[in-house]
Amino acid sequence: MSFLNFLPHRISQRLTAIYFTASSFSFQRRSTSFQTTTMASMTVKKIPALKDNFMYLVVCNETRKAAVVDPVEPDRVLEVVKEDGVQLNQLLTTHHHWDHAGGNEALYQKFRENPEWGELLVYGGNDDRIDRLTNRVGQDDTFEIGKLRVRCLSTPCHTTSHICYYIETDQDRAVFTGDTLFLAGCGRFFEGTPEQMYDALINKLSALPDDTKVYCGHEYSVQNLRFGNTVEPDNADTKALLEKAQAADLEGRRALVPSTIGQEKRTNVFMRVGEPSVQAFVGKSTPLETMQAVRAAKDKF
Ligand SMILES: [Zn+2]
């Protein structure tokens, strides 16, 4: 690798790191192409992590500034940052669970070791269980990733300090929902009540425009759609999506994300607790009771 001698030290270090990291890749890892959504104002790169988690790199197309959502495997994120030549300085944590926030400390340490990268801002709910928080955020707090405006949605229930991040520009809309809203599902009520999940899914997330892209924290499509199809066997949208998910390989199932708020309103039984069909399945007559009963049914499914 003698050509590296002609390059500035920092660049050669990075290229060397990329070279050795790439060389050590398993075939399986190298064959995993990152699925990318390129919109007018932003680009979102989906980076699979652990068994079924998603990390996301969000890039402002105009400024090339980037933020990462839930980087549990920071080394993989940094590889993508280097390859894409974007400037990462923000970390968005949806909630404190290890498979989401477990990489915060390691990414912070990487920035300490590489002061030329600048400061890493770490956003998250007000919760001491989240490592290295610099910016504690709550409902309707806003900040920018380059020219992208982010609005925080406080969605306690799965955990008490869970935050969803909504990005809206003139052309594009996207929301990062962690373990609050999944494709055709929602997170378990570990630290909250059915009222709180109702507020999150119905009052807050359902209120976003239907074309908002939904980037969730896990790939659970088949399990969730099988349950949805059991609750609403006459829902043609759910049935079609279930068939698509069941016919797909892992890459194909990952490609079902992003969903949209509109699709979730049509197919996600937890977004549909006001529908007579969903209420009938659990024998309840109010949306709140239905939220509780549907979650209980899913927990046993
Ligand atoms: Zn979680």
What is the model's pTM? 0.89
How far is the CA of 96 from the CAs of 101, 117, 125, 279, in angstroms? Answer: 5, 25, 9, 32
pLDDT at 34: 80
> How far apart are the CA of 72 and the centre of ligand 1, in A?
12
- Looking at the domain assignment, is residue 149 inside a domain? yes
Please identify every stretch of the chain with a pLDDT value under 50, giving residue numbers as ranges: 1-6, 9-10, 12-14, 16-32
By the 8 A CB rule, do 161 and 174 touch? no
Closest CA to 270 of 173, 166, 187, 174: 187
- Are 294 and 283 a contacting pair, CB within 8 Å? no
Is residue 18 in some structural domain?
no
pLDDT in tens, 160-199: 999 999 999 999 999 999 999 999 999 999 999 999 999 9
Give a yes or no: residue 158 inside a domain. Answer: yes
What is the structure's pLDDT at 289? 98
Domain of 206, CATH number, reads 3.60.15.10
Domain-located, residue 21: no
Q: Any idea which residues carry the catalytic annotation?
A: 95, 97, 99-100, 158, 179, 218
Give the distance (Å) from ligand 1 centre to CA of residue 274.
Answer: 25
Backbone φ and ψ for 206, nearest 5 degrees, come out as -65, -20
Query: Is 224 a member of any domain?
Result: yes
Ligand 1: distance of its center to the CA of 100 in Å?
7
Number of domains in the chain: 1
pLDDT value of position 79: 96
Region label for 283, one of left (φ > 0), alpha (ψ between -120 and 50) or beta (otherwise): left
Is 20 a domain residue? no
Decide if 105 is inside a domain.
Answer: yes
Contact 175, 263 (CB under 8 A): no
Cα 115 to middle of ligand 1, angstroms: 31
Give 46-72 pLDDT, tens digit per residue. Answer: 999 999 999 999 999 999 999 999 999
> In this structure, is residue 268 part of a structural domain?
yes
Task: Provide the residue range defining the domain that includes 249.
Answer: 3-13+30-299
Give the pLDDT score at 33: 63
